[in-house]
Amino acid sequence: MLSKKVTELLNKQVNAEFYSAYLYLDFSNYYKDEGLDGYSNWYYIQAQEERDHAMLFIKYLQQNGESITLEAIDKPDKEYKAFIDPLNMGAEHERLVTSMINEIYAAAYEEHDFRTMQFLDWFVKEQAEEEDNADDNVKKFELFGSDSRSLYELDTEMKNRVYTAPSLVLD
């Protein structure tokens, strides 16, 4: 049985992951409207990943006999003035999500909840990858995004990304 604090934080994370999916869909829509189909694809897939992360948290809570509390998902209220804006916002958002995962991990550690810590190990690794990818996207855009040919190449590279379901399996 999970502690009340850990359960609350896990429920909060469910909603944060769904918000992340909304945010990345908003980024995807922006890039689609701007004719950058590759960047749109990248964030569309990112949204799918975030939705799946939420579902993993839900499944974990259910497997531990806990109720799920779904809250309203806020509408993303971001304004984009330049193509790099969603990339910077995405990197910042990933750092926020990492801090939330770390908060849950710390609470589980305080409670000697080793099962939850083990469950979160995958997310800790995943967040490191997410931050690296987001930072890499920003760096590439800063280096090459101002040149139209290079931007075309970056967009083409982003178009090649395919969706892969999370490797964490809960049964």
Per-residue pLDDT of the chain (171 residues; tens, 9 = 90+): 899 999 999 999 999 999 999 999 999 999 999 999 999 999 999 999 999 999 999 999 999 999 999 999 999 988 999 999 999 999 999 999 999 999 999 999 999 999 999 999 999 999 999 999 999 999 999 999 899 999 999 999 999 999 888 776 665
The two three-digit tokens of residue 104, written as one number: 């849950």
Q: How many CB atoms lie within 10 A of CB 77?
A: 7
